[in-house]
Amino acid sequence: MRGRRAVLWGTLANGLILIGILAPLIGLALGSIQTERDLFANVPHIWPKHVTAENLSALVLGVEVPGVPPHARSFPRAFANSAVVAIGVVLLTLLLATLAAYAIARLRFRGSETLAYWLLATRMVPLIVLIVPLYIMLGRLSLLNSLGGLIVAEAGLFLPYAIWILMGHFAAIPVEIEEAALIDGCTRLGALWRIVLPLAAPGLAACGVIVFLLSWNELLVPLILVSTQTGMTLPVLVSSFVTVRYLSYTLLNATGLLALLPTLVLALLVQRYIVRGLIAGALAGR
Amino acid sequence: MGDGRLVAPQAAAAYPRRERRVRGERFLAPALVSPAVLLIGLTIAYALVYAFYISFHEVGLRALRGGSAPFVGLQNYRAVLSDSLFWSSFRHTLVFAGASVALELILGPAIALAMNQAGVSLAVVTQGVILLPWAIPPVVNGVMWSFLFNSKYGYVNAILLRLGLIGEYVQWGSDPNLAMLVVIVAYVWRTTPFAVLLVHAALRGIPPELFDAAEVDGAGAWQRFRSVTIPLLVPTLVVLLVLRTVFAFMVFDEILAITDGGPGDSTWVATWYIYSFAFRYLKLGVGSAGAYLLSLALGLLAFLYVRLLYRRVEY
Which domains does chain A carry?
A: 72-281 (1.10.3720.10)
Q: What is the pLDDT of residue B17?
A: 45
How does residue B205 score in pLDDT terms, banded at 50, 70 and 90?
confident
Task: Tell me the C-alpha distance between A50 and B60, whole Å.
Answer: 51
Instruction: Kindly state whether B163 is in contact with chain A, defined as any CB-CB distance less than 8 angstroms.
Output: no
pTM of the model: 0.92
**Beta carbons within 8 Å of B84's beta carbon, 6+ residues apart:** none
**Domains of chain B, earliest start first:** 84-313 (1.10.3720.10)
Most confident of B23-37, B181-195, B197-211: B181-195
Q: Do B9 and A274 touch (CB under 8 A)?
A: no
pLDDT tens for B219-229 read 888 888 888 89
pLDDT in tens, B141-175: 999 999 999 998 899 999 999 899 999 999 999 99
Select the residue from A92, A124, A189, A207 to test the B interface by mutation, using most B Cβ atoms within 10 A.
A124
Chain B residues closer than 8 Å to A125 by CB: 44, 48, 295
Provide the pLDDT for residue B159: 92
Q: Do A18 and B144 touch (CB under 8 A)?
A: no
| In chain B, % of residues over pLDDT 90 | 65
B274 contacts on A by Cβ (under 8 Å): 128
Asked if pLDDT for residue B3 goes beyond 80, the answer is: no
Higher pLDDT pick, B83 / A286 = B83
Q: What is the average per-residue pLDDT within B290-315?
A: 76
B139·A274 Cβ contact <8 A? no
Inform me whether the pLDDT recorded for B39 exceeds 50.
yes
B90/A contact by beta carbon, under 8 A: no
At residue A119, what is the residue type?
A: L
Q: Is residue B138 less than 8 Å (CB to CB) from chain A?
A: yes
Kindly tell me if the per-residue pLDDT of B5 is higher than 70.
no
pLDDT of B244: 92
* pLDDT, tens digit, 9 for 90 and up, residues B90-131: 999 999 999 999 999 999 999 999 999 988 999 999 999 999
Q: How far apart are CA B61 and CA B65, in angstroms?
A: 6
Chain A residues with beta carbon closer than 8 angstroms to that of B50:
133, 136-137
Q: Do A242 and B256 touch (CB under 8 A)?
A: yes
Q: What is the C-alpha separation between A101 and A119, in angstroms, rounded?
A: 11
Residue ranges, chain A, pLDDT below 50:
1, 283-286
For residue B40, the chain A residues in CB contact (below 8 A) are 119, 122, 156, 159-160
Contact B136 A263 (CB under 8 A): yes
Structure confidence by residue, pLDDT tens digits, B86-98: 999 999 999 999 9
pLDDT at B1 over 50: no
Per-residue model confidence (pLDDT) at position A102: 94
Give the pLDDT of residue B315. Answer: 36
CA A110 distance to own-chain centroid = 34
- B298: contact with A, CB 8 A cutoff: yes
Say what the pLDDT of residue B208 is: 87
Maximum CA pair distance of chain B? 79
B114 touches chain A (CB under 8 A): yes
What pLDDT score was predicted for residue B13?
A: 45
Judge whether B275 and A132 are in contact, CB under 8 Å.
Answer: no
pLDDT score recorded for residue B75: 95
